[in-house]
Amino acid sequence: MKIAFYSTNKYDKESFNQIQSQHTIKFIEFQLNIDTIIYAHSYDAVCIFVNDVCNKEILLELHKIGIKHVLLRCAGFNNVDILYAEQLGINVVRVPEYSPHAVAEHAVALLLTLNRKIHKAYNRVREGNFNLDGLTGFDLKGKTVGVIGYGKIGQVFAKIMHGFSSDVLVYDPFIQQEDLINGEILATLDELFTHADIISLHCPFNEQTQHLINEKNVNLMKDNVFLNNTSRGGLIDTKYIIKALKTKKIGALAIDVYEFERDIFFKDLSDSYIADDFFDRLNSFPNVLITGHQGFLTHEALHNIAEITLDNATKLDKFNQCDNKVIL
């Protein structure tokens, strides 16, 4: 199979080149959009990542040039119009589980860094400043942690929080109390918002979860609540969360994803002007910590992503079927 890989970085090339494969791969640095489809001419499949656009317009153009498969090298598929792909006969496959520990551990790293002001302490010490004023955090022991989404990543995160002797509430509309494996307590969404000191998002992004963190739900939360998001940026209403930070309703915000990240993340913009007022405002708060969608970025996860993606391609090439095909 000939595969055009979009939105590729150095680490993508390294991880995929380590896997023995009979497929022909072309690495493309650009995102997939209407202007870059031309790079997929004469190929059988495109391989895309979280910020590539694969809506009806793109899918139709891919179909016209003979693309038969869309290989997602991630778990989420909110950037692909799955139903229209099915109508066109284009298979969409994904990597449903590459390393839940990678993302869960990054969520914990964000929580610990922002709570204990590690990033600020690091910069101070490098400048010879050993003053501790302004670096006070809080114990995780005894805090109530609300986990929204109890898939593989949510399960690992909840287990880690138990290790800190935190009390863990879980909201997931698709599970029952007996499905919880680490002694968590199943809660309604309102109960979780009302009682949690820390809220961590691990649910998929779709029509039901878009702007889950909105004015109505934030008003249910405790004052100075800690909000953590390593899932998808669109779960948070960015415009309102800025207001909630200004009023100190949100006490701290740690995010590895951002609602409008498509034109920012995975790029070096250090010599450029970031023309995004929402991002600039978020980045100006001392109690906000942002990383650039790197939760997946471990050696183990990258290896698994490459291995599973190429295995998906092999199965499609041989059988035109794959267990990891996205079906709604």
CA distances (Å), 226 to each of 67, 89, 260, in order? 44, 44, 21
CA distances (Å), 163 to each of 52, 89, 154, 158, 201, in order? 37, 47, 14, 9, 19
293 is a catalytic site residue = yes
Nearest Cα residue to 37 out of 10, 84, 11, 70: 70
Q: Which tokens belong to 313?
A: 């391609």
Candidate list 105, 184, 259, 261, residue with the active-site label: 261
Candidate list 105, 106, 232, 259, residue with the active-site label: 232
Report DSSP state, residue 39.
G
124 is a catalytic site residue = no
Nearest Cα residue to 200 out of 103, 120, 265: 103
CA–CA gap between residue 57 and residue 84 (Å, rounded): 10
- H helices of the chain, in order, are 10-17, 56-64, 82-88, 100-115, 118-126, 152-163, 189-195, 215-218, 238-246, 277-284, 299-319
SS3 181: coil
106 is a catalytic site residue = no
Candidate list 293, 299, 300, 303, residue with the active-site label: 293
User: What are the residue numbers of the active site?
Assistant: 232, 261, 293
